Amino acid sequence: MITIAELQNIVEKALQKENFVTEPQGLYQPIEYVMSLGGKRIRPTMCLAGFFLFNDDFEKALPAGLGLEIFHNFTLLHDDVMDNADVRRNQPTVHKKWDENTAILSGDAMLIKAYQYVCKTDTSVLKPLLDLFSITALEVCEGQQYDMEFETRNDVSADEYLNMIRLKTAVLLAGSLKAGAIVANANAEDAENLYQFGENIGLAFQLQDDFLDVYGDEKTFGKAIGGDIVANKKTFLLINALQKASGSLRDELQNWINVETFDREQKINAVRNIYNQLGIDKIAKDKMHEYFQVALKSLEKVNGKESMKSELRDFAVKLIERSR
């Protein structure tokens, strides 16, 4: 039996063996820098787990897994440019450490390298794997575009928001699991059920992230609480609050959204109190639970090793039931 933690360790060791720096160093050093910043390596680990469900020789899935991780980090690099973010994983972002042009070009090179790694996979499964990877990569870009457009829209619906986070976050997790299944020659039904497991867990995870930003414990959540409220970010909670609120409560919420000068803690507490009065916390929890249950049902349908299915169940629980 092999565990998710062991697969994560295998991925990390494989990445450490890779040398991303060649000439010109100005192009490749930022890639080495980004890949050395760490992270949970969830996507390549899920790729290996998806493979191991059906085949023991999981190293055959490593090229695809590493390609997915490089792609994921490429999206973060370009996201940081678009968001003008100063820090990523407690270190300066590439466009701050170098400059914006370097970040754009090195990110482009990372996308190409991601395809190069995926193409190291056995040719017998390469066509469906590349088809999945290309569709997933494009969907992530679509999700990012929707996210940017939502910043200037005041009429975003809950369904639109859920589709955006599905594209921006969930499909890459789902695609990683399905990629492993494809490389392992799993049948189409098992691969699709595994995809549905990953997609629904990804949706539940992002909704949990929205929830924790309002109701989490700052010491265990790992970042300051209320950042979404302060920034008026259109989350599942805010969208539902705007839809449900009426009368003086809606006026109060709208005032807090419109106000330009405010005390941070006062605004967070006031908006949280509005959410509580509207029952937004329960709405968010119920939607998370709905996706989580759909995910588990999809996993149950997969005809793979029970030991790895159990590992994936436990992984899903840990992902969703983070400290609050």
CATH of the domain at 204: 1.10.600.10
Q: What is the pTM of this model?
A: 0.95
Surface-to-core class of residue 79, CB atoms within 10 Å of its CB (0-12 exposed, 13-18 middle, 19+ buried) = middle
24 alpha-carbon distance from chain centroid = 31
Asked if residue 129 is part of any domain, the answer here is no
Q: Terminal CA-to-CA distance of the chain, rounded, Å?
A: 32
Residues in Cβ contact with 37 at an 8 Å cutoff, skipping those fewer than 6 apart:
88, 89, 91
Asked if residue 315 is part of any domain, the answer here is yes
Asked if residue 123 is part of any domain, the answer here is no
Asked if residue 238 is part of any domain, the answer here is yes
Q: Which of 41, 306, 318, 51 is nearest to 180 (CA)?
A: 51
pLDDT for 324: 42
Asked if residue 148 is part of any domain, the answer here is no
CA dihedral 104→107→113→119, nearest 10 degrees, is -100
Asked if residue 255 is part of any domain, the answer here is yes
Asked if residue 313 is part of any domain, the answer here is yes
> What is the spatial distance between Cα 143 and Cα 172, in angstroms, rounded to a whole number?
11
Question: E strands, the chain, where?
Answer: 87-88, 91-92
Task: Tell me the pLDDT of the chain (324 aa) as tens digits.
Answer: 899 999 999 999 999 999 998 999 999 999 999 999 989 999 999 999 999 999 999 899 999 999 999 999 999 999 999 989 999 988 999 999 999 999 999 999 999 999 999 999 999 999 999 999 999 999 999 999 999 999 999 899 999 999 999 999 999 999 999 999 999 999 999 999 999 999 999 999 999 999 999 999 877 666 678 999 999 999 999 999 999 999 999 999 999 999 999 999 999 999 999 999 999 999 999 999 999 999 999 999 999 999 999 999 999 998 888 644
Asked if residue 284 is part of any domain, the answer here is yes
Range of the domain at 227: 196-324
> What is the spatial distance between Cα 142 and Cα 165, in angstroms, rounded to a whole number?
10
What's the number of domains the chain is made of? 1
